Amino acid sequence: MDWIAILSGFGVGAIVGMTGVGGGSLMTPLLLSVFKLNPAVAIGTDLWFAALTKTAGSVSHHNAGHVQWRITALLLAGSIPGSLAMVALMHQTGITKGWASALTFLWASRCC
C-alpha cells in the first residue's frame, strides 16, 4: 500500500506539473476509489496534500511578482466566511451520509 501511495502521488504530481490541471480533480477520486477512504477524509487529505505541495509554487510566483494581492484579498474575504459558515452548518446539523454524498459530488464536479 505504501508504494501505491507513493506512485499515486508521483503520478498526480507529474500530471499537474505537465498540464496545470488541479490535483484535487485527480487526487480525491484516487483516494476514494483506490484507497477506499471516507469522502470527508479523502477531501481533508487532498487539501493537506495540496497545501503542502503548492507552498513552493506560491512562494515562487510571489517572488516573481505574479500575484494580484487585491484580487487575492477579495477572494479570501468571501471564501473564509463561506468556509466557516459551511463547517458550522455541517456541525450544527450533524455530519451525515447526506453531507458526505454532497461533498463527494461537489468535489468531483468542480473540475468540469
Q: Which pLDDT score, from 0 to 100, does residue 11 have?
A: 82
Grid coordinates given for 96: 451525515
Q: Please say if the pLDDT value at position 111 is more than 60.
A: no
Q: Which pLDDT score, from 0 to 100, does residue 88 have?
A: 86
- 98 or 41, higher pLDDT: 41
Q: Is the pTM of this model over 0.75?
A: no
Read off the pLDDT band of 1 (50, 70, 90).
Answer: low
Q: Which pLDDT score, from 0 to 100, does residue 112 have?
A: 47
- Quote the CA–CA distance of 69 and 47 in Å, as a whole number: 22
